[in-house]
Amino acid sequence: MSAPGRGRRLGLFALLLTLGGSALLVGSSGARLWAENHLPVGALYAAFNRLRPQLNQANGAECFERLRELGVPGRPLSQELMRRENSRERDCPIVNGFAMRWPLAEKRYVTCALAEALYRFYQVDLVPASVRRYGQPVVWIEDAGVRSCRNMSGHRHLRSEHAYANAIDLRAFVLGDGRTIEVASHWDDPEHAAFLREVAAAACARFHVVLTPDSNEDHQDHIHADLGLWKHCE
């Protein structure tokens, strides 16, 4: 689909969702009842969810060339492998997937765009910050997961970016001398709080949505980072 075509379709969905959402959220009881009875809210969200993976402009085919130039360890997922993965999770397709390991402690299937952002975040932000604070580079990132075919927390219809392998939950950072800085244990620890907040601030500049233990109860043990369509950082 061309960029103008994507833009027109996104604009149409956004308009319909805005009208329906306004009636459902802020309208009178009569307006909410009308919206629930006349607007196909679930169907609109389902169509929007199917379109979303195609709207990530940083995740085009040229992204793989950028990974090659950066020297990111890993490999693009073959079309056959992506078809097999997507057949198991039909409502949560991966587009331009990449099998990434280092600097992650475990191999993960991620979008190409997320692989690029993670690698730049590690090289440009995370390693210099850890060397300044501890005299040691971060050598591994431990995460709490990437892909999970589910909705956003607290949302009936809208898919999480985890559904598309376009989000990661950063759980801990392992230094070269073996020390591990954990979000759950050290977010408010006097020795490590400044480092973790520096990491979160850097993530805010690198990713689109970043959520931390300061955000809500769902993020007490990790830093969520994604490359979705919205920009939000807290």
Residues 162-201 have pLDDT tens digits of 999 999 999 999 999 999 999 999 999 999 999 999 999 9
Asked if 98 and 76 count as a contact pair (C-beta separation under 8 A), the reply is yes
**pLDDT tens readout for residues 146-166:** 988 888 887 878 889 999 999
Structural domain tally of the chain?
Answer: 1
pTM over 0.75: yes
Asked if 212 and 189 count as a contact pair (C-beta separation under 8 A), the reply is no
Quote the CA–CA distance of 55 and 71 in Å, as a whole number. 26
Q: What percent of the chain has pLDDT over 90?
A: 52
Q: Is residue 40 part of a domain?
A: no
Quote the CA–CA distance of 234 and 216 in Å, as a whole number. 10
Q: Is residue 32 part of a domain?
A: no
The boundaries of the domain holding residue 71 are 58-233
**pLDDT tens readout for residues 41-71:** 677 777 788 878 888 888 888 999 999 999 9
